[in-house]
Structure 1
Amino acid sequence: MTDMPPAILPPERFQQRLLAWFDEHGRHDLPWQHERSPYRVWVSEIMLQQTQVATVIPYFERFMTRFPDVASLAAADQDEVLHLWTGLGYYARGRNLHKAARVVADQHDGAFPVHSLDEMAALPGIGRSTAGAIIAQSTGRRAVILDGNVKRVLTRLHTVEGWPGRPAVERRLWALAEHYTPDERLVDFTQAMMDLGATLCRRGTPDCARCPFEEVCVAHARGEEKLFPEGKPRKALPTRTTLMLLLQDREGRVLLEQRPSSGLWGGLWSLPQFDDAEALRAWLDARAPGSALEPAWAPFTHVFSHFRLEITPQPARIGRLDAVDEARCWYDPSDPASIGLAAPVKALLASLAPFALTTTAGP
């Protein structure tokens, strides 16, 4: 507790204010709140990482329909899991969700280890805060959370300086979160903290007039709400370029390749990618001799957290193709298969109809 700044409110008063606000204004009818099993709470928490509630709800409902429990998720193929994840982004979350389900099934007899924060945090893709949220939300036991919403609330209340990703700053925020977390009503308290950050103490446009801590928030008193939390030190995003081969057969099907399990779009299906036109042409000569290139489409940019990817789609008519192995498949845009697709690839495939190749293509 030595790293903790002086508290504005005693814990009991903080909890009373927050819970009174939550009882009247909090979110009580989210799909994962009925029922609050460890499995349902876990899936929702992973989906909600860096994604808005309104976006997550339809994905969560489709996911629960197909995978109602951890056993069905563990038994599924990764392709199907990533197919249901397509569009949510941050696909490592989907891969880790599948890995964690298999760990729970194989090493924990199909039951989440909610008795142990350390064991929960050790599951793929979870970590300390998510583990705390799952335990508190599904069991009502005391566990502390510190997600992005909670960090924002605490940094503004206490004007905690520094980027929250720095270890020293994060330690101070964990100390504050520990200080304020009660021993009772943990389900409501953790949801209230997340709701306060998501609905009032928003990143760009905080609604301070409706906040239960308006008169005790230091950042608000200074008129500096938008200065907290401090952003990550910015670096100019580097730009990479790639050519994506849109190789179609006479039936309009497109050749896809499965990405390696790690790295960019890990485990997803994508168009064959090349650093330059020479590499693409060499691949066609070796793999699909006799194929004819069409004029390239206009490039577009897909932005990741750490770089920008400039993509140039390169359509081609198939000549003949060497045998398609298990890492490649023919994809029919008019009858899409249930496989996980990278978001820009999904968009390109959806746009193919107006550009369908003629039936004269091929041998």
Structure 2
Amino acid sequence: MEDSAHPKRSVTVADVAKAAKVSKATAARVLGGYGVVSAKITDQVMAAAAALEYRPNELARSMSTGRSGIIGVVVGDIENAFFSLAVRGISDAARLAGFNVIIANSGEELDAEKSAVDLLIGKRVDGLIVTPARCDSIDHLQHVRRAGVPLVLFDRAIPELDVDAVTGDDRDAAITATRYLTGQGHRRLAYVSAMDAEDDGLTDIARISNSAVRERVEGFVSVLTEAGLPNPLHYVRLGATNQQQTDGVIKRLLSDSAAPTALLASDSLVGLRIFKSLQSLGLSIPKDVSMISFLDADWTSVTVPPITIVDQRVYEMGKLAGERLIARIERTPLAVERLRVSTSLVVRGSVATIGR
């Protein structure tokens, strides 16, 4: 029986070389995948490595090759189905190209994001995909650029950084969803977001530091403005960060003298919270209140009624971000771009037609 106080020593390249009866340099070439070695010697070395259960020292290999074979990904909220789908797309793209992925969750907190970026850079990742918590605080991302580490932004764009960004077509998506609601006769609409705020009201769109949220709000407000509806910013509500906060936001909205007849949820977590809030108030969708949610999360198609959603093609967004970062790592000559992935409205049963 192996003595647990004295664990087995790690197998080294020298051990593999000795077992294969070759020089250490030859074994290193075979195991490192560089240089020219005959097929016979390669087979000998690989057989010895397998027999000894040799595992390469990734740090040593990265020091010698300049590559770790690892991509770092920092997302806003891994609990959110949006980011889970995105990570799957990124991981699939990475695996096809021979890369592994390390995932960090910022919780949409700037300090946590900075710590995650520092940690991943310290692990010598070959490139980073980051969903920035704020688009107005970017010193840590500028540092990534100065360090020469390829960087792709996901879901949010920061033009000042001069790096690729993969996003949805957020403004157009909000316009499409809002126009659908006004087309069904709704004249009092509210947009509800989880973006943190001191209060749930909004007086200035420029204050929104998250580019995706800002562009959706711009789209929402533009439709209400073109329809001649008064005070559209009054119906933009922030701070639906958990169920309790969302309950408060919805109660305040629906107690307004001009309560909205339809709600647009910024993402599927907010949408689910709104759904629960309306249920707890004894309100029926869409009889009492209509709603649309961003993201085709699993729950949206199995509720009664099923929820009309904005399909953001998030898996494709993630895969595209992964492919773009790998192209940067491989130094493929490409112009810096913001790559917008188109969205579509999937109409189900959560929007009533009124006033006809």
* TM surpasses 0.5: no
TM-score (norm 2): 0.26
- The structure that has the greater radius of gyration is 2
TM-score (norm 1): 0.26
